[in-house]
Amino acid sequence: MLFMIGVWGGDRKVAALSYFFLYTLVGSLLMLLAILDIAANSGSTSMVLLEYPLTGYSRLIWVGIFMALWIKTPLVPFHLWLPLAHSEAPLAGSILLAGVMIKLALYGFLRIMLPILPEASHYFSPFVYALSAVTILFCSLATLRQIDLKQIIAYSSIGHMGVSVMGIFSNKLTGLEGGVLLAIAYGISSPALFILVTVLYDRYHSRLLRYYRGMAIHMPMFVILLFIFTLCNIAVPISSNYVGEFLSLLGAYQFNLGLTAIASTSVFLTACYAIWLFNRVSYGYTSSYLLRVKELTRSEYHTLMPLLVVTVALGVFPDPLVSVNLAYLCNVLN
C-alpha cells in the first residue's frame, strides 16, 4: 500500500504516505510490545491457550492491542490518515483500503481481543462505545462539509465502521453478527462508490463536487448505479448494509441505550449527505465544465454489476454469512 500511494498517488501523495506510515507504525509497535509482553509472562503466544483474567496486567495488554486497532479502524481522533490516504491513492488503493485493510481491525477485535481478553474487553466496553458514538457523530457531520468526492466516501466509511465496532462490543450475538455483516457489506458498497467517483475523475480530472451537475441527462446508466449504491450506503432494506446496521444497532441497544441513541443519528445524517451528494451530481443544469460527457464503458459496467448483485443477494438472503460465522461468534460470547 505504501508503494501504491507513493508511486501512483495524487499531488499530495507524500503527505498521505507520511500519515499512513507513521500512524500504522506507531499502532503496530504498540501491538508488538503487547504481544512480546504476553510471550514473556505466559511463555506462549497461542490464541488457543491464552485467556487472561481481569487484572491490571490484562488491562495494560488490552490497551496496547486496542491502540493498534483503534488507529487501524480508525476511530476519532486517529482517523486523519484514512481520508488523506483515500483521496491520494489510486483506485486500486482505495478499494483495498475500504474493502480489506480497515476491516482487519474488526478481525483483530473478534480474533484477538474478545477471545483472549474477554474480561478486560467487557471492562473497557463503555469507553469503546463512547468513542464509537463520538466517531459516528463527528464523521457524519464532517462528511456534510467535504467538497472532495473521495473524502466524502472516506469519512462516511469511518462512521459506518463505528457502528460495526459498537455491534462487536455489544456482547450480544445479534450485535456480533451485525458487526461482521456490516463490515462485509460496506466492504462491497464503498469500493463501488470509489469506482463511480473514479469514473468521473478519469473523464474530467477533478474530484471537486462543485464541478459536477446534471449528469443524469448525459450519463443515465452511471446515475442509476450511483443511485442504487447511494441507497446501499444509506442502508435501505434489501441491501446487505441494512441487515448489518440493523443487527449492530439492535445489539448495541441491549448494551447501552443512551450511547446507541446518539449513534443512531447516523441513519438520518447518512441520508442527508448521501442524498445531497447524489442530487448535486445527477440533477440540475449540466455543468459548463463538462464539455465531453461519456457514458459508462462496458468494462466499467461489468466491474460494478457483480458488486451490486452480491450486495442485494446478501441483503435478501444473509444466511450464508450468518451460518458460517455463527459457531465462532457463539464461542466468542462463551
Reported as a single tens digit per residue, the pLDDT across 63-98 is 999 999 999 999 999 999 999 999 899 999 999 999
Burial (0-12, 13-18, 19+ Cβ within 10 Å), 119: middle
The answer to whether 188 and 315 have CB atoms below 8 angstroms apart is no
Distance CA 267, CA 272 (A): 9
Could you report the per-residue pLDDT of 259-274, keeping only the tens digit for each? 999 999 988 999 999 9
Span 169-225, pLDDT tens digits: 998 889 999 999 999 999 999 999 999 999 999 888 888 998 898 888 888 999 999
Query: Rounded to 5 degrees, what angle do the CA atoms 9, 12, 15 make?
Result: 105
Q: Give dist(CA 135, CA 191) in Å, integer.
A: 21
Cα separation, 72 vs 108, whole angstroms: 10
Residue 324 has pLDDT above 80, yes or no: no
Q: For the residues 15-41, what does the mean pLDDT come to?
A: 92
Contacts (Cβ under 8 Å, ≥6 apart) of 334? none
Q: Where are the domains of the chain?
A: 2-333
pLDDT the model gives residue 221: 93
Place of cell 468513542: 131
As a whole number, mean pLDDT of residues 130-135 equals: 95
Nearest to 169 by CA among 204, 128, 205: 128
Give CA–CA dist 206/291, Å, rounded: 13
CB 181 within 8 A of CB 318: yes
Calpha distance 276→283 (Å, rounded) = 11
DSSP letters along 166-191, please? HHHTT-SHHHHHHHHHHHHHHHHHHH
More confident of the two residues 28 and 291: 28
**Phi/psi of residue 208, nearest 5 degrees:** -75, 130
Task: State mean pLDDT over 218-243.
Answer: 93
Distance between CA atoms of 266 and 260, rounded to whole angstroms? 10
Cα separation of 141 and 94, whole Å? 22
Q: With bands split at pLDDT 50, 70 and 90, how would you rate the model's confidence at 53? A: low
List Cβ neighbours of 253 (8 Å cut-off, separation of 6 or more). Answer: 260
- Return the pLDDT at 43: 81
Report cis status (omega within 30 of 0) of the bond before 237.
Answer: no
Higher pLDDT, 194 or 46: 194
C-alpha 230/C-alpha 215 separation (Å) is 15
Region 106-123: mean pLDDT is 90
Nearest to 301 by CA among 227, 218, 196, 205: 196
Residues 6+ apart with CB under 8 A from 18: none
Query: Chain-wide mean pLDDT for the chain?
Result: 90
Please give the average per-residue pLDDT across 102-113, as a whole number: 90
> Side chain identity at 44, as an amino acid letter?
S
Q: Which of 45-54, 127-136, 317-326 has the lowest mean pLDDT?
A: 45-54
Least confident interval from 151-155, 207-211, 306-310: 207-211
